[in-house]
Amino acid sequence: MSPAGDRYPMEMRMKIGILGRKVGMTQIFDETRAVIPVTVIAAGPCVVLQKKTPETDGYHAIQIGLVEKLGRHAVTKPLAGHVKKAGAASVKQIRELRGEFPELGTGASITLELFKEIQSVDVVGTSKGKGFQGVVRRHHFKGGRATHGSMFHRAPGSIGSSSYPSRVFKGMKMGGQMGNGRVTVKNLKVVQVDAANGVILIRGAVPGPKGGLLLIHGIR
């Protein structure tokens, strides 16, 4: 079943997205007094900065920006001009949503009011950066023996033969940068939408640290 259920035919459903900041995690109780872990996200308001069409850009999409309080020199002059052209203000974070959005034009506002009938959403964010990590933590290698004299504890072992193929294959699991990448978590249940305070509660965890930028999108 689609996130919007079967109440509307496919041609009447519309994909919608909004930007927000991760506030943190907490827990609430449902009608049966069961504990539900939720992530609190301060989402919106957002404004449509640009609408792309196949005639002008080669594809359908809208460009949305998160309206939030910014410092005097928070944005560059080119970005400030782009935002001003759309009639918006105080926008620094911009993301693009692919697809046709007939109900949304340049300058239109996107709030959590549009998410009140949505039951599940996809959340896109940037995972926490862990820096350079070895193969044990990064790829869950077992490692060698921990006994005295082993001298092989957390090393990766062989990464390729010497005579053939005389090179390291692409994709070999080795130590390196861990985290700090784009992560999408799909089909998360929407527990509560507080449009008056601009807060949405989503069941479970979402990627990124507190204050991290998130893109929430679903089908209404």
pLDDT digits over 71-103, tens only? 877 888 888 888 888 888 788 889 999 888 888
Whether 22 and 37 map to the same domain: the answer is yes
145 within domain boundaries: yes
Most confident of the following: 34-38, 44-48, 74-78, 165-169:
34-38
On whether both 134 and 99 belong to a single domain, the answer is: no
Residue 12 pLDDT = 47
Number of domains making up the chain? 2
Do 19 and 34 lie in a common domain? Answer: yes
Q: What is the pLDDT of residue 38?
A: 95
Q: What is the pLDDT of residue 5?
A: 45
50-65 confidence digits (pLDDT tens): 899 999 889 999 999 9
18 and 87 housed in the same domain: yes
Q: Looking at the structure, do residues 31 and 109 belong to the same domain, yes or no?
A: yes
Look at residues 34, 157, 19 and name the one whose alpha carbon lies nearest to residue 88.
19
Distance, CA of 218 to CA of 216 (rounded, Å): 7
The alpha carbons of the chain give a radius of gyration, in whole angstroms, of 23
Q: What is the pLDDT of residues 149-163, one digit of tens each?
A: 999 999 999 898 888
Residues 174 and 86 in one domain: no
Both 204 and 139 in a single domain?
no
Parent domain of 89: 10-129+182-219
pLDDT for the residue numbered 2? 42
Average pLDDT over residues 179-204: 93
Domain of residue 69, CATH code: 2.40.30.10
**Cα dihedral 79→85→89→92 (10° resolution):** -20
Number of neighbouring beta carbons within 10 Å of residue 77 = 7
Residue at 193 is within a domain = yes
Q: What percent of the chain is helix, strand and coil (3-state, nearest 5)?
A: 10, 40, 50
Average pLDDT score, the chain: 88
Q: Would you say residue 122 lies in a domain?
A: yes
- Which of the four pLDDT bands, split at 50, 70 and 90, describes residue 202? very high
Close Cβ partners of 171 (under 8 Å, ≥ 6 residues apart):
none
Q: Do the domain assignments include residue 66? A: yes
Is 5 a domain residue?
no
Label residue 1 by pLDDT band (50, 70, 90).
Answer: very low
164 occurs within a structural domain = no
Is pLDDT of 19 > 90? yes
The angle subtended at Cα 40 by Cα 38 and Cα 43, nearest 5°, is: 140
pLDDT given for residue 13 in this prediction: 61
Question: 1 lies in a domain?
Answer: no
The rounded distance, in Å, linking the Cα atoms of 62 and 96 is 6
**CA distances (Å), origin 156, targets 138, 141, 143, 166:** 11, 8, 7, 18
Q: Specify the pLDDT at position 4.
A: 45
145 in the same domain as 125: no
| Residue 58 in domain | yes
Residue 91 shares a structural domain with residue 119:
yes
In a shared domain, residues 55 and 138 = no
Tell me: pLDDT of 10 over 80: no
**Same domain for 22 and 117?**
yes
Based on the fold, state whether residues 29 and 53 are members of the same structural domain: yes
Instruction: Give the pLDDT confidence score for residue 83 in this predicted structure.
Output: 86
